[in-house]
């Protein structure tokens, strides 16, 4: 217990130190406003990708509708702040409402479709993503504030670095604690062999629903942060093709690795912007080709992803001294 407490304190200290360093760099102009916004976007994308990692990476549920839940959270959160003002309290409630709305929709949608498996589940979630995109296109008939196919404007720009940083930290901690719990081990069992999990007495439907609902709630939270970062929403930003971007991050990082998802999420966003900076607007036309080639090369050279099933742990970095003074690695 003492070791666990010590590692928790050190981890918290490292996270706070990282936040302070990045915050000071932004405040002192050591990081340009452009790259500061890219950092915010990378953290938001990582927050969303962690949700899909729980669904696909740890529970094995092949979902292609993640962007739809991202969009639900974005539109719900933006609608609340536009309607009731951009105070800190309203923004907090808007983010929670966006995450909750995504979770409720995920639960209702999951009841029928999570009975499906493999490609059939992917097709069902893909269809749901198309439905949500069409709904956003015609949302102005429900409320003029939603903008419809012209996009939602007038959203207050109140997402700041502390909001995206600590939201990402919160999501990572929730996901890590879930994965390391008995519920997380049950989810991994479902991923490895759902029939065997059924035979062992595991309620597979319950754990698939848990991972799907929680993962979509994380996407909804990320969507709310995204809406108030760019102050504009367009249905095209949440079409089903956007779900492949998040899926790419999870696969690149390694299925069953939160560390890999974080590394890939941050890396893909920064790589995309760096290539855009070098190649200009032409990169957007060839982005799909670049991503596909990157994925093919990775699957050939390292099919388990960048990190495989490896997770970052202080125990692997800190060395303890034995009685004889010899260093030995912590298990």
Specify whether the CB–CB gap between 188 and 200 falls below 8 A.
no
pLDDT per residue over 167-208, tens digit each? 999 999 999 999 989 998 999 999 888 888 888 888 888 999
pLDDT per residue over 115-171, tens digit each? 887 788 889 999 999 999 999 998 888 778 888 888 898 899 999 999 999 999 999
Within a 13 Å sphere around the CA of 230, how many CA atoms are in the beta-carbon half? 16
Element (H, E) at 22: helix 2-27
Residue 25 has pLDDT above 50, yes or no: yes
pLDDT per residue over 259-306, tens digit each? 889 999 998 888 888 777 766 666 666 776 777 787 788 878 887 777
Specify whether the CB–CB gap between 51 and 219 falls below 8 A.
yes
10 falls within a domain: no
Give the residue numbers spanning the domain of 176. 39-239
Relative to beta strand 319-321, strand 327-329 is: antiparallel
Domain count across the chain: 1
Mean predicted confidence (pLDDT) in 63-82: 93
| Distance (Å, whole) CA 72 – CA 128 | 12
How is residue 180 written in tokens?
A: 């390391």
**What is the share, in percent, of the chain residues with pLDDT greater than 90?**
45
201 falls within a domain: yes
87 falls within a domain: yes
Determine the pLDDT at residue 280: 63
Task: Count CB-CB contacts under 10 A for residue 237.
Answer: 19
Within a 13 Å sphere around the CA of 218, how many CA atoms are in the beta-carbon half? 29
How is residue 127 written in tokens?
A: 């269809």
140 falls within a domain: yes
Write the DSSP assignment of 169-219 as a string of letters: HHHHHHHHHHHTSHHHHHHHHHHH-HHHHHHTT--HHHHHHHHHHHHHHHH
268 falls within a domain: no
305 falls within a domain: no
188 falls within a domain: yes
Element (H, E) at 287: helix 282-301
Q: Tokens 């499906």 correspond to what residue?
A: 116
| Helices first, then strands: H and E counts in the chain | 13, 2
Specify whether the CB–CB gap between 46 and 166 falls below 8 A.
no
249 falls within a domain: no
How is residue 249 written in tokens?
A: 């991050």
Predicted TM-score of the model (pTM): 0.89
């Amino acid at each position: 217990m003492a070791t666990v407490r010590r590692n928790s304190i050190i981890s918290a200290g490292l996270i706070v130190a990282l936040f302070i360093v990045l915050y000071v760099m932004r405040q002192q102009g050591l990081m340009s406003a452009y790259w500061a916004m890219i950092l915010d976007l990378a953290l938001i994308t990582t927050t969303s990708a962690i949700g899909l990692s729980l669904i696909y990476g740890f529970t094995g549920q092949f979902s292609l509708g993640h962007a739809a839940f991202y969009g639900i959270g974005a539109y719900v959160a933006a609608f609340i702040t536009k309607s009731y003002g951009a105070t800190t309290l309203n923004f907090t409630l808007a983010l929670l409402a966006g995450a909750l709305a995504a979770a409720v929709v995920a639960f209702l949608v999951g009841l029928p479709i999570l009975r499906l498996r493999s490609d059939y589940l992917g097709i069902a979630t893909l269809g749901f993503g198309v439905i949500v995109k069409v709904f956003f296109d015609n949302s102005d008939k429900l409320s003029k504030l939603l903008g419809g196919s012209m996009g939602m404007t007038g959203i207050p720009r109140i997402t700041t670095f502390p909001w995206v940083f600590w939201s990402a930290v919160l999501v990572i901690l929730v996901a890590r604690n879930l994965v390391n719990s008995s519920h997380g081990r049950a989810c991994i069992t479902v991923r490895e062999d759902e029939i065997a999990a059924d035979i062992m007495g595991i309620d597979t439907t319950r754990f698939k629903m848990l991972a799907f609902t929680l993962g979509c709630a994380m996407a909804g939270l990320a969507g709310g942060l995204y809406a108030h970062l760019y102050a504009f929403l367009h249905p095209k930003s949440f079409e089903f093709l956007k779900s492949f971007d998040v899926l790419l991050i999870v696969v690149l990082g390694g299925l069953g690795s939160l560390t890999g998802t974080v590394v890939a999420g941050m890396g893909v966003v920064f790589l995309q912007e760096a290539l855009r900076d070098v190649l200009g607007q032409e990169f957007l036309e060839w982005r799909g080709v670049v991503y596909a080639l990157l994925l093919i090369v990775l699957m050939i050279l390292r099919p388990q992803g960048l990190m495989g099933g490896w997770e970052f742990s202080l125990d692997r970095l800190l060395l303890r001294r034995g009685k004889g003074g010899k260093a030995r690695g912590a298990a």
